[in-house]
Structure 1
Amino acid sequence: MKFDERHLIQLAAVVKTGGVTEGAALLGLAQPAVSRTLSMLEKRIGEPLFIKGRRPMQPTPLGIALAEHGLAMLAASRKASDLMESFRVGKSGVVRVGGSPFFMDSLIAGMCAEFQVTHPDVRIDQSYGYFPDLRAALKSDQIDLAICPIDILDEGSGLAFQQILPGRNVIACRVTHPLLLKRRLQPAHLLEYAWVAPPPGSPLSADLRALLLSFGATEIRIRYSGGSLASVVNYLKAADALTVMPHSVVFAQRKEKTITALPINIPHPERALAILRRVDAPRSPAVEQFSAFIRSGFDNLKHLIKRHEEAVVWGS
């Protein structure tokens, strides 16, 4: 005999609550409809499902056995409903985000952990890349969001971006670097030291070369290159070398008291950190929630950085 799953669920609701009215309310159904279902089941089976005259309603052994199957279906249905509601409001799902290594390691990874405090059922898949790779990943639907420095998008790119942090580069060094003791820093002072090159393909790599050329350097003394953010920081804190980093990345390391920024203004390209996405990408509630959280986090970060900048006397 084949049963209609909906009928078993209604039977389970009545057994669970002890009454037809209560069981109907649990399922959001009308009481007469549930009564008809129970009567139809008993006629079809040819056996009573409840002991007559008992209040609250008491199921027969057969009624209990069938209700157990209905309870399993009811629990699964509730879980599915909860999952759907959680997905609808962005409390569950998957966020695929790619970004520039230094920013992802110093800023975004921590924000991901903070986001999951209130969204523990959202899984975040993080990947690394620079703009060309991230653009390709967005267009091929390998990631939902890209977080990277960008200057301007080509017309008809199919991508949209939201600026989350103005671009500003600084010269990073360890907190005990000799140059921090000089009252008036000059470009010539910086050329006396070796440099750490940013990873190949990074916009910072071109920025470093442009900076040193503007200082009048005829050659670049590179002593270390190709490292991750952690390896560059560890190298800098053990050597009197210099490198170019986004100010926000250096600012994020302030509590570690290992590296800092030389108090000297340097030229840098018109570039901003932005969140990129495909214009025609389907909207995922979890992705929208995550994107809003990142934007809010960077709004707070901008105020902290601005306050810090105003407290430092920057040389030209």
Structure 2
Amino acid sequence: MNLELRHLRVVCAIAETGSVTKAASTLGLAQPALTAQLQRIERALGGPLFERDRRGARPTALGELVLDRARVLLPAMKGLQDEAARLAGAGDPLRRYRFGGVNSPILGRLVHRLAAERRDVQITTYASWSVDELAQMVAGGRLDFALTGVCGDAAPSAMFGLSWREVAVDPVFVLLPQTHPLADRCEIDLVDLRREQWVAAPGDGCFGDCFAAACSRAGFTPRKVYEADVRAALDLVDAGEAVALCQATFRPVAGLVTRRLAGTPLRWRLLLGWHPDAPAAAVAEPVLESAVAAYTDALAHHPDYLTWLLAHPDFGVQPTGAGGVRTA
């Protein structure tokens, strides 16, 4: 049997999980099938790669040697595949825009603008709750742009080599049922929500930690936090079971209202990302300008917030010089 990259992935999975059973689950294989595959790999390499007992699987000296090589070869091959995918898409970079978004408030308006401006361009979208997944897809040439956000002054992971530019900065609002006792206020102190239950969308960013830290600064620990998609979150708020944090440009459905949090304890930075070596880099600046324009379009539906922005220049679109937008 000739050794292949998939065999090295098997060895790495067993070493990382410490168990053939757990590795089989991770790889989506039946445990007997993975055991048989491991035995074939060991025969091809001339000896056992793991010592296996009730405590799990530990690499032998031969196993450590294979793992050392695999941990160099697998990332190198992944890098080759990513570069090849980007090069394969370089023939006509202006014919398609592939966007990935994480609960973005302006993706629809951005697509609408680009479709009107470039009728010859094909536009596709992909949704994910994971910023890292989108960044990896952009790095791998499967998406051209990622439209996502981070809280405070945080930045997306640098491990994927993407260029990130800031579209706008917004305070985080709270979403309440219209019948909530605090719904008649224009601004709510976070501490006044200390007895509430919360609902949040899933994700792999730091927003949950930022929220917990903001609550701690206000002198309390948040009660139960439900995790749900946007539709289910709206249902929970509408039922009076929870309140939710939301972006300032969020348009609530009938029966729900958004309110500012006093002192803006949480900020949300909307970002556009692309790979600097991909064809998308050639059109990144006009796409960024369209994203900023889409954000500005969204403000027309929030006149009270627009008035607030005029008095708080540290929020909204943050220019740097003539027409520029800050780098994340």
**TM-score (norm: length of structure 1):** 0.56
Determine the C-alpha separation between the residues in 2 that align with 1:268 and 1:148. 16
> Which residue is 1:280 aligned to?
277
State percent identity of aligned pairs.
Answer: 15
- The alpha carbon displacement at 1:273 in A equals 0.9
Mean Cα displacement is larger for which, 304-313 or 188-197? 304-313
Q: Structure 1, unaligned stretches of length 5 or more?
A: 1-86
Contact 1:172 1:261 (C-alpha < 8 Å) held by counterparts: yes
The aligned residue for residue 268 of structure 1 is 266
What are the within-5 Å matches in structure 2 for residues 246-265 of structure 1? 246-248=247-249, 250=250, 253-254=251-252, 256-265=253-262
Q: Name the residue aligned to 2:228.
A: 226
Residue 144 of structure 2 is aligned to residue 144 of structure 1: yes
Contact 1:149–1:272, Cα closer than 8 Å, also in 2: yes
Q: 1:181 to 1:167 in 2, by over 3 A?
A: closer
Match of 2:37 in 1: none
Q: Work out whether residues 198 and 243 of structure 1, in 8 Å CA contact, stay in contact via their aligned partners in 2.
A: no
Q: Is the 8 A contact 2:212 2:221 kept in 1?
A: no
Q: Distance in 2 between matches of 1:245 and 1:95?
A: 27
Distance 1:163 1:219 in 2: 30
User: Counterpart of 1:243?
Assistant: 244
Q: For 2:279, what is the secondary structure of its paired residue?
A: coil
Provide closer, same or farther for how the CA distance between residues 311 and 188 of structure 1 changes in structure 2, counting only shifts above 3 A. closer
TM-score (norm 2): 0.54
Pick one of 81, 97, 101 that aligns with 1:95: 97
Equivalent AA in structure 2 for residue 310 of structure 1:
T
- Note the 1:154-233 alignment, pairs <5 A: 158-181=161-184, 185-218=188-221, 220-222=223-225, 224-227=226-229, 229-233=230-234
Matches of 2:178 and 2:239 in 1, distance apart? 10
Q: 1:175 to 1:141 in 2, by over 3 A?
A: same
Query: 1:94·1:286 contact (CA, 8 Å) conserved in 2?
Result: no
Given that 2:196 and 2:223 are in contact with CA atoms closer than 8 Å, whether structure 1 keeps it comes out as no
Report if aligned partners of 2:185, 2:259 keep a CA contact under 8 Å in 1: no
Greater Rg over alpha carbons, structure: 1
Root mean square deviation of aligned Cα: 3.6
Cα distance, 1:298–1:240 mapped onto 2, change above 3 Å: same
1:126 shift after superposition: 1.3
Cα separation, partners in 2 of 1:156 and 1:135, compared to 1, 3 Å: closer
CA spacing shift, 1:203–1:246, aligned 2, 3 Å = farther
Q: Give the secondary structure class of the aligned counterpart of 2:179.
A: coil
Q: How many residues align?
A: 216
Is the partner of 1:161 in helix, strand or coil? strand
Contact kept? 1:169, 1:244, Cα under 8 Å: yes
**Would you tell me which structure has more helix in proportion to its own residues?**
1
What is the SS of the residue equivalent to 2:245? Answer: strand
* Alignment check: 8 A CA contact 1:204 1:244 kept: no
Q: 1:121–1:169: structure 2 CA closer, same or farther, 3 Å change rule?
A: same
Tell me by how many angstroms 1:143 deviates: 0.8
Give the match for residue 133 of structure 1: 133
Asked if structure 2 preserves the Cα contact closer than 8 Å seen for 1:169 and 1:246, the reply is yes
In the alignment, the residues of structure 2 paired with residue 138 and residue 132 of structure 1 have an alpha-carbon distance, to the nearest angstrom, of 10
For the Cα contact (< 8 Å) 1:208–1:243, is it kept in 2? no
